[in-house]
Structures are given as C-alpha cells and as structure tokens.
Structure 1
Amino acid sequence: MSSRRVLDRADWDDRLDGPLGAVALVLVVNAVGAAPALLAGPDTAWFAALEKPGIYPPSATFAVVWTTLFTLQGVAVWLVVRGAVGRERRLALGVFAAQFLVNVAWTPAFFGLQSIPLALVVAGLLVPLVAAAAYRFWLIDRRAGALLVPYLAWAGFAVLLTYRFLVVN
C-alpha cells in the first residue's frame, strides 16, 4: 500500500507560500503568456509587409517588456495566493484569469488570423479587465495591485498601437 496521499487545498497553499511558490508562479505565467507567440508571431511576410506606425517600438522591446510584465504578474498572483482565502481570492484570481485569457488571445487575433480589427477589439477588452484585476488584487494586497499598474499602462499602449496599425494599413 502506498504512503502517498492526495494533496488538499491547504497543502497547495503551503507549497505556494514560500519563495519557490513565487518562482513557480512566475514561470507558469511567463510560459503561458509566451505560448501564443510559438504559434504565430511577427516573423511572417504579412507582418513584414505592414506599414509600421510611428509609435512602433524596436522589435526587441516586446520580449523585454513582456517578460518583465509576466514576471510582475506572477509575483502579484503569488501575493494574492498568500494574502487571502475564500471568496475574495477566488474572485481576484478569476478576474486575473479572465484578463489573462484575453491577453493571450491578442497574438492569435493579430498575427494568426491577421485581423487588426479583431486584435483591436481584444486589446480594448483587455484594459478594463486588467484594471479590474489590479483593483481586486489591491483589495487583498496593495503590492499585488501595484504590480499590475505597469501592465495596465502597457495594455493601454497596446490599444493605441493596434489602433495605429489599423489606421496606417
């Protein structure tokens, strides 16, 4: 007979509580966030042929910014997991998951489907969802909410950049 037992919720909470939990969540958020770029990205003839808006940053900027933002999000999730239990945590993490799903939908919309209008809709949905996630996180741990502010700013920039792509193309 095996001495292993099924982990309950408290066991998972304990495993995520320490620094290894922070590292694990940062890695998961980065991996899931970067996954859509493996399927579709800027290395296509379609994107190369697009007129780039004047506000388009150097291409290397995106990897640095997204890695930083995903890392901040992972730490924010860790703070929320450590800082709350019950309904408030479920609500905060649910809003976070919703915005994250919208976030990862932008790359397939823009690069995969090559639909700038659809990508603009996705980006437009992302901003209020990130704001809601930051607010829900703030209620649990102000540091967690603050860690999402740079992401909110970048999401706003993404709306503007996507709009400018639509205008010039």
Structure 2
Amino acid sequence: MELLKVQGELDWKKLTRNVLIPVIGGSIIGYLANRNTQQQYAELEKPSFSPPGATFPIAWTALYTMMGVANYRVEMKQSAKGYDAAIPLYDVQLGLNFLWSFLFFKWNLRGTALIEMMIMLGAIAMTAYEFNKTDRTAGALMVPYIGWVMFALVLNYSTWKLNK
C-alpha cells in the first residue's frame, strides 16, 4: 500500500483513473486491432522464442497497471509543484503503444510497426527518465515495460523477417 501513497497521501480517484486508462484502453485497442486476425496471426511463421499467446494479455495487464501507477505517482507530485514534460511524454508513448497493435495486426504493416516500436521505445525511455526525475519509484515502475518492449522489438523484427 505504501507504493500507492505519494508524500503520505493516497488519492483513489486519481489512482483508479491512471490505472484504468491504460488497462481498459489497451484491452479495447487489443480487441479492435485483433478482431478477425487470430487465424492470420496463427499462420505466421514465428521465432522459436515467441511466447504462447496467453502470455501477452497477462503481461500487458501487469505492465499497463505499473505504468498507470507510475503516472499516478508523477501526477500527484506534479500537482504540488506544477507542470513539466513527464505527463505529455507518457501520453505520447501510450498513444504509440496503442497504434502499434493496429500497424502490426490489423493493417499487417509489420515493418512499419517495427519502426514505430523503435520510436515508441525511445518515448518510453524518455518518459521513464522524466518520471525518475520527479519520483524514483515511478521511474523504477517503468523499467519492466522497457524490458518487455525491447523483447517485443526483437520479436517484431524476427516475425517480420520470417514472413517477408
């Protein structure tokens, strides 16, 4: 519970909003982008290190929750001190995250998705850096996300190469 307190304060409304936006947003985007694409994706040649499909919703729910908590912590600290770059960067990386699913799954633009993911990784790293400047815990909460996206980048590249 201490993880959720910022300067001794817990704002359930802000916390809930900050967690639900990426979790529910990611679920809706996943549904819209992946609708009617399961068969096509199943037929793709995938690298040997590709995890089972059930891994992805579990991993993304955990990552979206952590990034939501990180954003909440930064928002709580920034409301006391004023505006800085962290929140807009967070919004940009989240938008890029949501866009990737359409590029890769819905529109079959795997090479474009790869380039977009590289840009997204840069945006995530900048977000984590800015979060860390405001709140070290928030910065640390972004590290698993960076690791997962680095893995996803290799997976995206390998899948793209195998199916060119």
TM-score w.r.t. the length of structure 1 is 0.84
- Distance in 1, Cα, partners of 2:148 & 2:38: 24
- Any gaps of 5 or more consecutive residues in structure 1? 1-15
Is 1:117 matched up with 2:82?
A: no
Shift of 1:146: 0.5
Equivalent residue, structure 2, for 1:154: 148
CA deviation string 1:28-74 (max 9, x = no partner): 22111222111122743321211111111011110110000000011
In the alignment, is the contact (CA less than 8 A) between 2:22 and 2:64 conserved in 1?
yes
Structure 1 vs Structure 2 CA RMSD: 1.6
In the alignment, is the contact (CA less than 8 A) between 1:130 and 1:152 conserved in 2?
yes
Shift of 1:24: 2.5
- Distance in 2, Cα, partners of 1:54 & 1:34: 26
In the alignment, is the contact (CA less than 8 A) between 2:22 and 2:94 conserved in 1?
no
Aligned AA for 1:140? T
Equivalent residue, structure 2, for 1:38: 31
Is 1:47 matched up with 2:41?
A: yes
- Distance in 1, Cα, partners of 2:74 & 2:107: 35
Aligned to 1:117, the other structure's residue is in SS state helix
Aligned to 2:15, the other structure's residue is in SS state helix
TM-score w.r.t. the length of structure 2 is 0.87
In the alignment, is the contact (CA less than 8 A) between 1:17 and 1:81 conserved in 2?
no
Q: How does 1:22-101 map to 2 (within 5 A)?
A: 22-41=15-34, 43-84=37-78, 85-88=81-84, 91-101=85-95
Equivalent residue, structure 1, for 2:12: 19
Aligned residues, how many? Answer: 152
CA deviation string 1:90-129 (max 9, x = no partner): x100011111111111100011101111111111111111
Flag as ranges the 4+ runs of structure 1 deviating above 6 A.
Answer: none
Report percent identity of matched pairs: 34
